[in-house]
Amino acid sequence: MRDNAWVATSKRILVTGGAGYIGSNTTLQLLDAGYDVVVVDNLSRGHRESVDPARLRVVDLLDTDGLVRVMNENPCDAVIHFAAYIAVGESMKVPEVYFRNNTAGSLSLLTAMLKTGIRNIVFSSTAAVYGMPAHVPISESEPYAPVNAYGESKVMVEKMLDWFDIIHGLRSVCLRYFNAAGADPDCRAGENHEPETHLIPLILKAAQTGNPVTLFGNDYPTPDGTCIRDYIHVSDLARAHISALESLAKGGESKKYNVGTGHGYSVQEVVNAVREVTGRDVPFVFGPRREGDPPLLVADSTRLQHELGWKPVDSDLKRIVETAWQWANR
């Protein structure tokens, strides 16, 4: 066991970005599992109503002193760090915003952790660190090759975490998410981005309003010509964070894991699934390709399954769409 192992009986977790989509779902699961949670969020993109007010501390990640104050007032065993901007297209227009919020913000958080003696972190990373990978399914040994500033902002944090482990003994688990989708099955939390850019909520909106969704490209080298992605239910993603925490609590080494199902669905198949689940027509038009979209992204997540015993249980596409539809009609 490593000297930074912590006692699993006193489990308070500081969650950054807990007012966001994946952060709010994970916070609920942490509470369900008996953890105590304090959320830090600046509410720039998250939603105040997504967090129990008694748990929320409105602090910007770049405010290191503010973070130190929260950590001193609420001693924590570990941090789960979600807070970040996620819009790939935006990152190619204003990369400075991404490097400031995602990269410099993470550095500020790590600095606060060092000052307060917190030595365990689960970091919200992304398949975007791989860019256009040469091998699919993608394993963790695929090299870093981001093709947008968003992906690069996350690569830089992963690399900082490597150095903080070597130099300060700060242990991390980086979870590289594939396509997060779906909502809490009890409809307590779900996806609510402004503006929304993700496929499933946009298709559901088309089913609700009758206004067509634009599908970006039907001339890709895939069976039906549309892009293939690995959709992972947000509840399965949330469980991966709890598995990662448990591994750190046992004194586990720093690790990087893909979080996906190993199964891809095309954009057209997602449209079909929405039609089936909702019983509604889904008007769509094909538009040009969206810049920077790889044709095929599917995870090899066997490392996570073998080492941490995690497995997806809610990520059947129908279940993803059912829970997202329930959330969209709440």
Active site residues: 150
CB 278 within 8 A of CB 319: no
Our finding on whether 215 is near ligand UFG (CB under 6 A) is yes
CB 41 within 8 A of CB 23: yes
CA dist., res. 100 & res. 97, Å (int):
5
Which 252-271 positions form the footprint of ligand UFG (CB under 6 A)?
Answer: 267
Our finding on whether 214 is near ligand UFG (CB under 6 A) is yes
Q: Which helix (H) or strand (E) holds 50?
A: none
3-state helix, strand, coil in the chain (%, to 5): 40, 20, 40
CA dist., res. 299 & res. 311, Å (int):
13
Which 148-187 positions form the footprint of ligand UFG (CB under 6 A)?
Answer: 178-179
Closer residue to ligand UFG (CB): 251 or 295: 295
Indicate which single residue of 128, 175, 238, 274 sits in contact with ligand UFG (rule: CB under 6 A): 128
Closer residue to ligand UFG (CB): 6 or 130: 130
Indicate which single residue of 122, 189, 238, 297 sits in contact with ligand UFG (rule: CB under 6 A): 297
DSSP string for residues in 253-277: PPEEEEES-S--EEHHHHHHHHHHH
The least distance separating ligand UFG from the CB of residue 295, rounded to whole angstroms, comes to 8
Our finding on whether 91 is near ligand UFG (CB under 6 A) is no
Our finding on whether 144 is near ligand UFG (CB under 6 A) is no
Closer residue to ligand UFG (CB): 32 or 196: 196
Our finding on whether 328 is near ligand UFG (CB under 6 A) is no
Helix (H, G, I), strand (E, B), or coil: what is residue 329? Answer: coil
Residues in contact with ligand UFG, counted by CB under 6 A, come to a total of 21
Strand duo 265-266 + 228-229: pairing: antiparallel
The least distance separating ligand UFG from the CB of residue 300, rounded to whole angstroms, comes to 14
- DSSP annotation of 218 reads S
CB atoms < 10 A from the CB of 216, how many?
Answer: 17
DSSP string for residues in 120-156: EEEEEEEGGGGSS-SSSSBPTTSPP--SSHHHHHHHH
Our finding on whether 80 is near ligand UFG (CB under 6 A) is no
The least distance separating ligand UFG from the CB of residue 159, rounded to whole angstroms, comes to 17
Stretch of 49-57, 100-108, 123-131, 271-279 contacting ligand UFG, by CB under 6 A:
123-131
CA dist., res. 314 & res. 19, Å (int):
22
Strand duo 78-81 + 12-16: pairing: parallel
Nearest residue relative to ligand UFG (C-beta): 227
The least distance separating ligand UFG from the CB of residue 207, rounded to whole angstroms, comes to 13
Residues of the shown chain interacting with ligand UFG in the complex, contacts defined by CB under 6 A:
86, 88, 126-128, 178-179, 197-199, 202, 213-216, 227, 229, 267, 290, 293, 297
